[in-house]
Chain A
Amino acid sequence: MKTTTVPERLAANRFEIDEDESHIEVDQELCRTTGTGKAIIAVCPAGVYSEQDGEILVDYAACLECGTCLAVAAPGALKWRYPRGGFGVSFREG
């Protein structure tokens, strides 16, 4: 099988992007001090999180909605919920 990158794999999916509202918010300070920033970058299968100049960037449109980031986050470091009804990833296979 051909090697693929995450963006290539995500491009095969269907997403209904919520242009008005992100379902993810990070607390930059807590992400730094608790190590949550590094952990969420490592565990996210969609590469939603990245770091630039010590800040965590969030590409919420790529989110696969598993909740793994929230499961490893320190209390208060991450606000994560499901996107509004009908928005986000829409699996055709599953």
Chain B
Amino acid sequence: MTASTQDAGEPEVDFDVVVVGSGPAGSVAAYRLAQAGLSVVLIERGEAPGSKNLSGGVLYGRVLDEVFPGFADEAPVERRITRHVTTFLTPDSSVGIDYAGRALAEPVNAVTVLRARFDPWLAGKAEEAGVFLMPGVRVDSLLTETGPDGATRVVGVQAGDDQLRARVVVAADGVNSFLARSIGLRRKEPTNHMAVGVKAVVKLPRGVIEDRFGVTGDEGAAHAIVGDCTLGIGGGGFLYTNTESLSLGVVLRLDDLVRSGRTAIEVFEHYSQHPGLAHYLRDGEIVEYGSHLVAEGGLAMVGEVATGGLVVVGEAAGLTINSGLTVRGMDLAIGSAIAASDAVAEAVAAGDVSAAGLAGYRRRLDASFVMQDMRTYAKAPAFLERTGMYGAYGELAASIFEGVFTLDGTPRKHLTKVAWEAFRRSPVRARQLVSDGWAGVKAL
């Protein structure tokens, strides 16, 4: 397009929209913008979409089903999660809660994905809709100009020696959020708002996985593990089933990790060798080892999501929820992409891509499940910073069950008595238990 074919006063652009990052947020935003008739380029620094991306891998799929009905039948998903297991580990015991339900299977609630396979499928959907995909290109900075109103606005991106100009840039560049930070929409987060995920993909035969995890066919299990797996550091472990591998990882809050004096490597190795997990992992082979940050600040981290010529979506906008037992980010990324693409298409059509023109994004986001859930879980981060979660409570639960199941010849006692005695021996104090319990009910 040249300036002469455009309305007078309109800037010359290479594309209507530049989307940076082909994770779930970027690919879904690009797809929907192309569907709305806009010209879109999707830029990805990895040699292919997904090649830089890593997650635990449980995708809560309802929102993606709205964009691509029946996606789970077509996309490269691993297993449909029909079993959620929560385990409190101590050095030599484990107490678990196992929830298996048909309600989880029909309609599909959650599936496991491996991002190096799933993200290319999603980006492929965008390409089919007419998006121009540019892999292997790192965007270095935003191009900005001062508009007629005196306000700075984003007019494109710089990648190496190349500049691409657009009416709107969608920053879908993930948790480190360099683009939004570069123009002051985001700050460097305090370390209690960030956690590092350290993960291995462990190969095992399909049948072995099904036997060990109590699932059949394409069903799968998601295990959330707390307690000794992180050596008392705020965070937790996950063990999710893929078709022919397991996703095994820990998530460690950075303030606590630094304070602990331990290394991330040491904690991961302690976890992956934990006797409580040995029977799941036996004879498994690590075929990949990776790490990635997770935003954990919750609602407190979400700041400005739009300015002149720019919207920020997905984890770049701080949109993740850690409820202690689940990490959610992919579904929120997709939800924000839906809100942003609708608002951007509207703003472009109206010829106003200023901050005011793009303000519809925030309104749509606020009204969507994304911000509703962010608000519901607003107290979760503070709750999870309470320390009992990661040590003493697991010990307490374990010693109650030890009292119930160990028949050592002494006369049996009622459960309440066993629990009371275990509680008295434990370092957990009643006041703390009540206060944490109440905070937990309110936060989760």
B residues neighboring A (CB under 8 Å): 45-48, 50-55, 114-119, 135-138, 159-160, 175-176, 178, 188-189, 191, 194, 196-198, 200-202, 245, 254, 257-258, 261-265, 268-269, 272-273, 278, 281-293
Chain A contacts of B245 at CB under 8 A? 93
Interchain nearest-CB distance for A91 vs B (Å): 5
Contact: A94 with B114, CB < 8 Å?
Answer: yes
**Which of A3, A10, A67, A82 interacts with B289 by CB under 8 Å?**
A10
Chain B contacts of A44 at CB under 8 A? 264-265
Chain B contacts of A45 at CB under 8 A? 196, 198, 264-265, 268, 291
Measured CB to CB, the nearest residue on chain B to A1 is B281
Contact: A43 with B254, CB < 8 Å?
Answer: yes
Q: If A71-B293, A91-B53, A93-B114 touch, does A43 touch B273 (CB 8 Å cutoff)?
A: no
Within 8 A of B (CB), among A64-94: 64-68, 70-72, 81-86, 88-94
**Which of B47, B53, B188, B293 interacts with A94 by CB under 8 Å?**
B53
**Which of B159, B263, B289 interacts with A41 by CB under 8 Å?**
B263
Chain B contacts of A13 at CB under 8 A? 288-290
Measured CB to CB, the nearest residue on chain B to A43 is B264
Chain B contacts of A83 at CB under 8 A? 138
Q: How far is the CA of A64 from the CA of B116 in the complex (A)?
A: 14
Contact: A91 with B52, CB < 8 Å?
Answer: yes
Contact: B273 with A1, CB < 8 Å?
Answer: yes
Interchain nearest-CB distance for A17 vs B (Å): 13
Q: Is the interface of A mostly helix, strand, loop or mixed?
A: loop
Contact: B258 with A42, CB < 8 Å?
Answer: yes
Contact: B115 with A71, CB < 8 Å?
Answer: no
Q: How far is the CA of A12 from the CA of B116 in the complex (A)?
A: 15
Measured CB to CB, the nearest residue on chain A to B174 is A67
Q: How far is the CA of A21 from the CA of B329 in the complex (A)?
A: 32
Extra inter-chain contacts (15) besides given A70-B176, A93-B116, A94-B290, CB under 8 Å: A1-B202, A6-B289, A9-B286, A43-B196, A43-B258, A45-B291, A46-B291, A84-B138, A90-B47, A91-B52, A92-B288, A93-B114, A93-B201, A93-B245, A94-B116
A residues neighboring B (CB under 8 Å): 1-4, 6, 9-10, 12-13, 16, 39, 41-47, 64-68, 70-72, 81-86, 88-94
Contact: B138 with A91, CB < 8 Å?
Answer: no
Contact: A64 with B114, CB < 8 Å?
Answer: no
Chain B contacts of A70 at CB under 8 A? 176
Chain A contacts of B265 at CB under 8 A? 6, 44-45, 47
Chain B contacts of A84 at CB under 8 A? 138, 160
Chain A contacts of B197 at CB under 8 A? 66
Contact: B117 with A82, CB < 8 Å?
Answer: no
Chain B contacts of A92 at CB under 8 A? 51, 116, 288
**Which of A2, A65, A86, A91 interacts with B288 by CB under 8 Å?**
A91
Contact: A68 with B293, CB < 8 Å?
Answer: yes
Q: Which of A39, A83, A94 counts the most B-chain CB atoms under 10 A from its CB?
A: A94
Measured CB to CB, the nearest residue on chain A to B51 is A90
**Which of B200, B201, B254, B282 interacts with A71 by CB under 8 Å?**
B254
A-B contact pairs, 20 of them (CB 8 A): A1-B284, A1-B285, A3-B273, A6-B289, A9-B200, A13-B288, A42-B264, A66-B197, A66-B292, A68-B194, A68-B254, A68-B293, A88-B52, A89-B290, A90-B47, A91-B54, A91-B290, A93-B115, A93-B245, A94-B118
Q: How far is the CA of A2 from the CA of B278 in the complex (A)?
A: 10
Contact: A91 with B50, CB < 8 Å?
Answer: yes
Contact: B273 with A91, CB < 8 Å?
Answer: no
**Which of B47, B137, B191, B200 interacts with A72 by CB under 8 Å?**
B191
**Which of A3, A46, A66, A85 interacts with B136 by CB under 8 Å?**
A85
Contact: B287 with A3, CB < 8 Å?
Answer: no
Q: How far is the CA of A41 from the CA of B265 in the complex (A)?
A: 10
Measured CB to CB, the nearest residue on chain A to B43 is A85
Chain B contacts of A1 at CB under 8 A? 202, 272-273, 278, 281-286
Chain A contacts of B136 at CB under 8 A? 85-86
Q: How far is the CA of A3 from the CA of B268 in the complex (A)?
A: 11
Contact: A72 with B254, CB < 8 Å?
Answer: yes
Measured CB to CB, the nearest residue on chain B to A69 is B196
